[in-house]
Structure 1
Amino acid sequence: MGSLVEKARAVQNLFLELEEEAKTFHQEGGMGCLSGCGFCCSNPKVPASPLEFLPLAFDLESKGIADEVAKQLALEEEPGSCVVYRKLSEDGKKGFCGNYAQRGLICRLFAASARRNQKSGKKELITCKPLKEERAQAFRKVTEKINDSMDVPIAAHWYTRLADIDDHLNQLYPINQAILLALELVLTYRFYTQEEERTAL
């Protein structure tokens, strides 16, 4: 695939496809994330790739804050929780995404996809402890349904589709490092494209 912009568009198109599948699954299964829960978002070790955060990086760049956010992330001594996550509780377990429209693939797959158990071959919903505990009965029903006839996005399929866009940029890092790398790519890209435009004048 060509330029960084084209790759970001391809990622966005992939997200739109997934959104349709996830919407259908949520309507049939009723197992979306708990409202106001930030249990996963507060975890600094969430694995993500620069590729899935290219749309976010371009969005922050268009708002004129990409450089500021990149500097903030570069100063982190220890990986922190996602830079766009907005905490509403001291322990960080309550909150919301500050840029939900541009969230990464990992965020989109959680509670909306399944993986296959390597031993049993059965599908397992990818979700968290709070959701399993608070909606235990619904969780059991959905688990039965996805192993019967209910369609569910399979996480591995979407990761393969993402890798097809650019396998090199699909390497996994702690989430803030992945976002920082995406921002650096976009800022460098913008610098050189603007330089070319100035030279052409």
Structure 2
Amino acid sequence: MKLTQLQKDLIFGSLLGDGNLQTGSKGKTWRYRAIQKSEHKEYLFHKYEILKDLCGTTPKENELLDTRTGNLIQRWSFNTLTNPSLNFFGNMFYTYDSNKEKWIKKVPLKVETFLNPRALAYFYMDDGALKWFGHSNAMRICTENFSKEDINRIRKSLKNLYNIDTGLIKKQLKNKTSFRISIPEKSSESFCELIKPYLVDCMKYKVSDGQYGHL
């Protein structure tokens, strides 16, 4: 089936964020998978309603053991069926690493072509947050799973498309260096105005009202 523009924006934006594609056919076919913690159940079902024509089952709740804390985390998830329309995104986002024997998600070279405001909103809702609620309008996007080169490709797109300046926050965990995108105070208002029309109600707490609060 042919994807609608809304479906394309959701898939593209969330693949920059928490969404992922899975293949059991060495990249010949793909399915989309979404997972959210129970407190973000509304957001998960919002995604499902948009993509349900691609799905064979409804979202399910399950538990995951957090190995860091030993606590059980309640989650909701759903998968689409494999669909030829998803091959476009699989080829764009994934490359096979023969050394690690797994598929690696990367930021597409043509990210700037597809990063419209609605796709950007899904990216931010998936992985964004206010830097310091009540004290700052600055924001950040958790991009630790991407390389620095990939992240800078996103930053360049934000500058070229929307004149939004960003920075990098370096994070060191054991022997791994990773980076987050920072959106400073001077850019936060423009960024918020860009994505505001597309925010799901339960995710508006991630966006500043310009007065150190949230929408």
Greater helix proportion: 1
Task: Give the TM-score taking structure 2 as reference length.
Answer: 0.24
Greater strand proportion: 2
Task: Give the TM-score taking structure 1 as reference length.
Answer: 0.25
